[in-house]
Amino acid sequence: MAIAAGSRVRPGEVVLVVGGAALLAGSWVIVAAKGDVPPWEEGTFDALNELPDALWSVVWAPMQLGSLAGSLVVVAVIHMVGRNVRLTLAALTASLVAWWSAKGVKALVSRARPGALLSRVNLREHAGGLGYVSGHSAVAFALASVLAPSLPGRWRPAVYGAATVVALARVYSGAHLPLDVIGGAGLGVLAGTLSRWAFGLGGEGLPPRPAAR
């Protein structure tokens, strides 16, 4: 994606791109090199996947923010609240790029889901196809990376916190292994930050609301 004329790239955004690329590349290398599930990853998966079933009703709805349909709802809300066309288009682009790029990575890596790799999995949601990378995690972090720089500083951790909940919920559901969601998060950060650059957002925030009369 080209950076639109007049946009200013901040050092923090460069850090996000480098960090996202490192998460994606690092997890990809580990998955490709090992060919199975490393002990630390299996232990992390077990710790999350074996949490009480009662949590499922709590995390199911937030987890939908990482689905393709859920991302379109988020984009619509961003448009209605922010009234910023470039931010809306950046969010839409980032979510679609993250979703379809995740499918491309899955085809290249061909890592199965936990149920096919581990002997004991609490499967709370049926998920077909391949595991690495997590599309839900990619979409959630793409939206967070688009939206966070346009919000007041106190709200930014909450946006990334919501994306983290999506990623952890995918492991808890039994649909993904930890490296799947780590790679998805990296892919999402890349998609979101590069989409902001492509639409010339830079450090631009949401426009101020008109004063009430």
- pLDDT, position 149: 92
Predicted local confidence at residue 206, as pLDDT = 53
Tell me the HSE value of 23 on the side-chain side, using a 13 A CA sphere.
25
How far from 39 is each of 18, 25, 42, 50, 96, CA to CA, in Å?
27, 20, 5, 16, 33
Per-residue pLDDT at 191? 97
pLDDT of residue 65: 94
Q: Given this model, what pLDDT does residue 12 score?
A: 77
**Would you list the domain boundaries of the chain?**
11-198
Give the single-character DSSP code of 64.
G
**Six-digit token string for 131:** 């595991």
pLDDT score of 148: 94
pTM: 0.90
The residues of the chain scoring below 70 in pLDDT are 1-9, 202-213
What is the pLDDT at residue 5?
38
| Per-residue pLDDT tens digits for 164-173 | 999 999 999 9
